[in-house]
A and B are shown apart, each in its own frame.
Chain A
Amino acid sequence: NAGVMQNPRHLVRRRGQEARLRCSPMKGHSHVYWYRQLPEEGLKFMVYLQKENIIDESGMPKERFSAEFPKEGPSILRIQQVVRGDSAAYFCASSPTWDSNQPQHFGDGTRLSIL
């Protein structure tokens, strides 16, 4: 399966813990996007990365959230000191180029629950 792979599918954390979400893009894709979906809402853009570079982080909360896409390995979305409001589905998407006409391909998401 050469699709976008996200893990874990489900993640449970207690308030104050750290959450790490992983995303491996489709083969041949070097552009990765992270989106957050709150219950019964649409997806909201968080961050756009290329290998080793953050291109657009205009949707990232100013504190506790960070993202990386290293030269080797998956992209990581990291949430420090989680709070109840971080409970959501987090989706990763990838595309082969920067071209806005190219559709983004989505993974199945990580559903984060904060106790």
Chain B
Amino acid sequence: GDSVTQMEGPVTLSEEAFLTINCTYTATGYPSLFWYVQYPGEGLQLLLKATKADDKGSNKGFEATYRKETTSFHLEKGSVQVSDSAVYFCALSDQGAQKLVFGQGTRLTINP
């Protein structure tokens, strides 16, 4: 079945550091890929998405590129801020299947 694997957390960085959170997936079809962010006590918010190979999703300085050849969708940001501290989830939805399949989440803490 479909699955998503994220890098182990937690991740702790200093402000203005470069961020990469790895995400790889397994899917039977051609999935759409998403990154969601969850702040403490809240629901998930869509951060960015990509719906086909080589698409790049971007939002609030975050980027991720849909790499079909490596089945990856790594999240990157050039200079993180304290306000980026949250849990980040990579997810996919396969064609014809509306449900989202999530990775286990990566907790990110940014220190000033």
Contacts and interface: CB of A to CB of B under 8 A. Distances in A.
Interface string B76-94: 0000000000000100011
Which size class do B's interface residues fall under? 20 to 34
A107 B44 CA distance: 7
Contacts, number: 67
Interface string A83-110: 0000000010101001011011111110
Interface in B24-51: 31-32, 34, 36, 41-46, 49, 51
Contact of A48 (B42, B99, B102): B99
B14 interface: no
A8 B94 CA distance: 31
B44 A91 contact: yes
A105 B89 contact: no
A101 B43 CA distance: 20
Nearest to A107: B43
Contacts of B44: 43, 91, 93, 106
B46 A45 contact: no
B100 A45 contact: yes
B107 to A, nearest CB: 9
B45 A95 contact: no
Interface of B: 4, 31-32, 34, 36, 41-46, 49, 51, 89, 93-105
